Chains A and B, each alone.
Chain A
Amino acid sequence: MSDAPNEWEIVVRFYAALHLVQAYLVDKGLDGPPENHGQRSKAIRDNTELSQGRGRAFRTVFDRLKSVSEQVRYDAGFTATTADIEKSRTDLATADAFIRPKLR
């Protein structure tokens, strides 16, 4: 991870989005919530509400939060820009606005 200011914000925002998704999947009564990223990706893919129609935009922002946060952590040559940090802010806001009303 580089010394770029606030780069960790992206990671924190990804995990905030992840917990929203997890809460949604638990609410929907899956047979056991996903226990890893692979299972969660499959659950999102298999859920029409999360992956099709308006869900498509949600899927884009969630996938971007996940991939950028991974690159921040695991790609030593990657430096998040101010635009990346701002994008993570709007992506989390989009994910939150989409998921939260669907929670019981």
Chain B
Amino acid sequence: MFADAFQSPSTVAVEYGRPARRARGIGDAVSADVQTAQIFVLTLPSPATVADDYDVSVLNGLVADVFKSFDAVFVADEGETLHVFAIAADHDDDAYERMARAEDQLAARRPGLMFEVHLRATRGRLPTVVAPAGSRQVHARR
């Protein structure tokens, strides 16, 4: 009975977004066998989580692309606002001109995105030292 249960696709236990506590879809008739057996449960992210992750990934790629003239770029979320930290050697006019161009490009390519750009100067330090705690790096110039 235990083997029969596992021949049917309906007995494949899949839970979305969280570890499964027990298999589902297995009839009561085999429950005793199942409860004593070790069950391998496939845990997948939910479709919504996949979509969110995909969107974040695409957005990170877009930010990295439009700010690629900077030494490094970090992002952080705060409510509905995406904070973009563009890392440059110093606070000179050229860096701010590049920042304005990149900001305009991002706004054009993602209308409706609420974001705020900050320029952080390294002045000889590593970009990772200058980036705010909790931000994630989306670009590093090689």
Cβ–Cβ contact B100 & A59, under 8 A: yes
| Chain A residues whose C-beta falls within 8 Å of the C-beta of B114 in the assembled complex | 38-39, 42
Q: Are A77 and B104 in contact (CB under 8 A)?
A: no
22 pairs across A/B with beta carbons < 8 Å?
Answer: A41-B103, A41-B116, A42-B107, A42-B114, A45-B107, A51-B104, A59-B100, A60-B93, A60-B96, A60-B97, A63-B96, A63-B117, A63-B119, A67-B119, A67-B120, A70-B118, A71-B120, A74-B132, A75-B130, A78-B121, A78-B123, A87-B91
A68 to B123 CA separation, bound complex (whole angstroms)? 12
Number of A-B residue pairs with CB-CB distance less than 8 Å in the complex they form = 54
A45 to chain B, nearest CB (A): 6
Bound complex: CA A70 to CA B91 (Å):
12
> Which residues of the other chain, B, contact A39 by a CB distance below 8 angstroms?
114
**In the complex, residue of chain B having the shortest beta-carbon distance to the beta carbon of A41:** B116
Q: What per-residue 1/0 map shows which CB atoms of A28-55 lie under 8 Å from chain B?
A: 0000000011110110010000010000
In the bound complex, CA of A102 to CA of B132 (Å): 36
Interface residues on B, range: 20 to 34
Point out the residues of chain B lying under 8 angstroms from A77, CB to CB.
125, 129-130
CB-CB < 8 A to A89: which residues of B? none
- Quote the shortest CB–CB distance from A5 to chain B (angstroms): 18
Chain B residues proximal to chain A, CB less than 8 Å: 81, 91, 93, 96-97, 99-100, 103-104, 107, 114-121, 123, 125, 129-130, 132
Interface on chain A toward B: helix, strand, loop, or mixed SS?
A: helix
Would you give the shortest CB distance from A93 to chain B, in whole angstroms? 16
Count residues of chain A with CB under 8 A from any CB of chain B: 24
